[in-house]
Each structure stands twice: as C-alpha cells, then as structure tokens.
Amino acid sequence: MRLGLLGGSFNPIHRCHLSIAQAAQRLLPLDRVLFIPTGDPPHKQPGTLAPAHHRYRMVQLAIQDEPAFALTDIEIRRSGKSYSIDTVRALHAQYGSGTALFFLIGLDAFIDLPSWKQADQLLDLCQFVVISRPFTSFLQVASMPVFSGVPTDELRALDEGRQERADVPIRNGRALTCLRLPPCDSSASDIRTRIADGRPLANLLPPLVESYILREGLYREDSERL
C-alpha cells in the first residue's frame, strides 16, 4: 500500500487541506491519505489553538465522505513533545514493510527540515512529497546541506510553472518528490480571524466543519470553551 501522511494542527481544517490531499492522491498516486492532527502543546496561548478533541472531530467531519482518506489520533494520544520521527516510526511498525510511507509537507516547512529531530533517519523511513507554497522557491531545496548537489533544472522549471512534478534524487537513494499545485488562498489564521470578527466565511470550510465551529463556539474572542 502507498500511504500518504498529512500532519498539521488543522486549526481548523479547511478546503485547501482537502485539495492538497486530493491532488497528492491523484498525482503520486496514493491508496490512502492519513490525516494526523497534532496534540495539545503544553504552553499554548488561550484562544489560538482549539483543543485537540475539537480539531480531531473537525477533520473527521471533513473527510467522512472521502473513502480514501483516514484519520489517526496517534499524536493526540502521545504525552509530552511529539516529534515526526516518533510518529513515522510508529506508523511504520503499525503498517509493516509492505506499506510505503509518503510524508506530505509544504515547501516552507520542508526548508526547516535540518532542524528537525533525527532528520536523516526520517528521510530514510519515508519518501517526502514537498508541496509548493506562496513566496517560497523550490530552488531553496538545492541549497540545503542534506541535498547538496541535487540537479536544479527541474526545480527551476517548477518555480517557473513549466512543470507540475519533479522527482529529485537525494543521497540516501530515495527521490524527493516536488509538486507544484495551483495556489489556494485559504488559511486557517484568516478563517479564525473571520470567525472572531463575525465575518462571513465565503465557503472556505466544508459545511459540516463550519456548522461544528459555530455550534461549539470555537475561535470566538468571547468563547470560554477554549
């Protein structure tokens, strides 16, 4: 099985998250995309992050009609700090060697990979799929120490919009898959601001997620439920 891993706070999950998962499933292709909401950080500012059980439920509602999408609470259940390497190792053990893991990540976050815990081991355990992000260049990948010497022609073609996908060989024998997807103008921070200000959401959220947020009073400045 080819399993995509899509982690994030999903605070809240919105249409861009779903479109990324759908595009990755189609282009790679993947048998399943597994959504992995983060747990509750020990020191969060009040009102900035909905509790994990709310964020988990919103993802559940958003993907319930997508048979190839699945959800796990593996990071929510983990106490203390949660690192990607621990999650990937646990999923590797759970699904077995017959499952290939594809780590879906935005280009802006991927640039910070060298600072991650045991980044080299993470690259060995799964194939990274790097998704285009506004104002971030794929050519930056070539300057990362772990990818020194990777060919730049295809990365430049992605940046210039002449190519949708590039599979760039990296040192551990794997390929780094880079996808240029159509830009999506939704952002979780903008959605939270709109809710707090009482402004319309303009179809930025799946209808069931929007209804859940309003019913539970999430992201409202006067809400006592966060």
User: Does any domain span residue 148?
Assistant: yes
CATH of the domain at 24: 3.40.50.620
User: Does any domain span residue 102?
Assistant: yes
62 versus 82: the higher-pLDDT residue is 62
The structure's pTM equals 0.92
Structure confidence by residue, pLDDT tens digits, 163-203: 999 998 886 677 899 999 998 878 999 999 999 999 999 88
Instruction: Give the CA radius of gyration of the chain.
Output: 18
Question: How many domains, in total, are found in the chain?
Answer: 1
Structure confidence by residue, pLDDT tens digits, 113-166: 999 999 999 999 999 999 999 889 999 998 887 777 777 899 999 999 999 999
User: Does any domain span residue 204?
Assistant: yes
213 versus 146: the higher-pLDDT residue is 213
- Residue 47 pLDDT level (bands cut at 50, 70, 90): low
User: Does any domain span residue 181?
Assistant: yes
Domain extent for 6: 2-216
The 10 Å Cβ neighbour count of residue 69 is: 20
